[in-house]
Amino acid sequence: MIDLAVVGAGVAGSFVAHELSQARPNWSIALFERTDRVGGRLHSVRIAGLDDPIELGGMRYYTSHRHVHDLITALEIPTHPFGVAAGPDRSVLRGRFADGSGDPASGAAYDLSDDERGLSPGELVAEAFERIVPGAGRLDEDGWVRTRATHRHRGHPLVDWSIGDALSSVLSPEGHRLVIDAFGYDSGLRGFNAGDSIPYMLGSGHPGMQARVPDEGMDRIPRTLVAGLERRGGVLRLRHELREVHRDDGLFRLHFTDQEPVLARRVVLALPAPALRLLVAGSPPLTTPVIDGMLESVDLWQAAKLYLWFDSPWWRDGFLAGRTTTDLPPRKLYYFDSRPTGPAALLAAYTDGRDVEPWATLADGAPAGSAATVDMLVAASDHLRALHPSTPHIPPPVGSAFIHWGADPHETGWHYWRAGARSDAVIAAAPQPDPGLDLYVCGEAFSRSQAWVEGALETGASVVSKLLSGSESEAGT
């Protein structure tokens, strides 16, 4: 029997196990992970010759992400600026080249209305947000809590709108198409609850913030946390797939596939929503209206990444940019090079939602992180030629890697609040769905910073606080 079982060795679960091993050194703590590695949706891979790992999962954090920044500082993890090539953003929309979402020329090929013409996609979105929620740009966190509870747009509660439907209600069809294309992701401006999406988007541009990454890759964060756990006597158990959770005589009994059951006083489920859903049917402590409501409150967004690496950064011949956004199937490209010569990497396609399908089809079921298929490389080459017409010769890559977050039924790329969800209530309930049970839930799914490491740590910190306050109460009785 153990004092604390944490299931899921991504950044949220690793954080909870690490923090409790420090705060409660007398507890027996075990961290269980379904796969054969630590990191979850942080997955950094070293490639011979490249200066930095390629990031098959989350690839950066912002210095404005308080929980991540403070944790990295406390763990003394060395970091460096996110290593895209120096240069402005670039967009290629309907065959027209422009300087990203802040450039009015991005919309040159779109039949915009008179009041939209001459505005950049960024300006169109900002004006649309103001029309949906007057004064949106001036609201603080408490103001958004009130707005989500009371504001109505065109007669309906704001939170019952998806951001895509809300935008289409105030923009012309072509204006709406432009902002979706220029954003580059299928998720953030389509299905996301409008009451959550608008402050999320408005809060993404903190003055002076910088994108950074640990020198050894993003998964250095959970790996460092787990190393600290093990130094203090905690244990890591890989290849432990949790199948069912039961409650007997005041203890939790965890059933793992092909493993002996484990008894625990307290359980933390640090899992993405798909994995949590798979547990519910056979786990009586999880079959509750609160957990059902939590799972119904978020949409799952699959994601895909295709990395190519080359002997040299050929893209420097003709232009210099850190990122290209396009309406073509790659959607987003990031150029990684630290010098004008020598090996360099290209994130040649970064897609989510509906835009994953063309690449998943070409992958033909290839395992996560494996080399791209021949069909995928042919498609990528065709798109690169269209996006770099001034480059006379684009060499074949010397290596490649593809991953589809969502191919595994336990996983997804990230989560966003669904239209109709009351996120403030869910966030309050999620860390401990039943106050009478020592069963806790964390992960970016039920956070204010969904799709980011920051969200995982936000919820992890809430669970740690509840576990510590609960154990103090027990000690005092």
pLDDT in tens, 198-222: 999 998 655 567 899 999 999 999 9
pLDDT class of 133 with cuts at 50, 70, 90:
very high
Q: What's the pLDDT tens digit per position in 440-464? A: 999 999 999 999 999 999 999 999 9
Confidence of residue 287 (pLDDT cuts 50, 70, 90): very high
Ordered by start, the domain boundaries in the chain are: 2-41+219-299+419-476, 44-86+301-405, 95-202
The helix or strand, by DSSP H or E, that contains position 178, with its residue range, turns out to be helix 173-183
pLDDT of residue 74: 97
- Would you state the pLDDT for residue 339? 77
pLDDT at 86: 56
Pick the CATH number of 44-86+301-405 from 3.40.50.10490, 3.90.660.10, 1.10.10.10, 3.40.50.150: 3.90.660.10
Q: How confident is the model over 135-152, as pLDDT tens digits?
A: 999 999 999 999 999 999
CA distance 464 to 452: 19
By the 8 A CB rule, do 127 and 112 touch?
no
Confidence label for 476 from pLDDT (cuts 50, 70 and 90): very low
The answer to whether domain 2-41+219-299+419-476 has CATH 3.50.50.60 is yes
Mean pLDDT of the chain: 94
Q: How far apart are CA 59 and CA 42, in angstroms?
A: 8
User: What single DSSP character describes residue 379?
Assistant: H
Name the 3-class secondary structure at 185. coil
Q: How far is CA 3 from CA 29, 229, 273, 412, 440, in A?
A: 6, 14, 25, 30, 14
Q: What tens digit of pLDDT does each residue of 383-412 get?
A: 999 999 988 889 999 999 999 999 999 999
- CB of 323 within 8 A of CB of 98? no
Kindly indicate the confidence band of residue 127, based on its pLDDT and cuts at 50, 70 and 90.
very high
On the question of pLDDT at 473 being above 60, the answer is: no
Q: Are 185 and 331 in contact (CB under 8 A)?
A: yes
Band (321; pLDDT cuts 50, 70, 90): low
What's the pLDDT score for residue 204?
Answer: 61
The rounded distance, in Å, linking the Cα atoms of 251 and 264 is 6
Classify domain 95-202 at the CATH class level.
mainly alpha
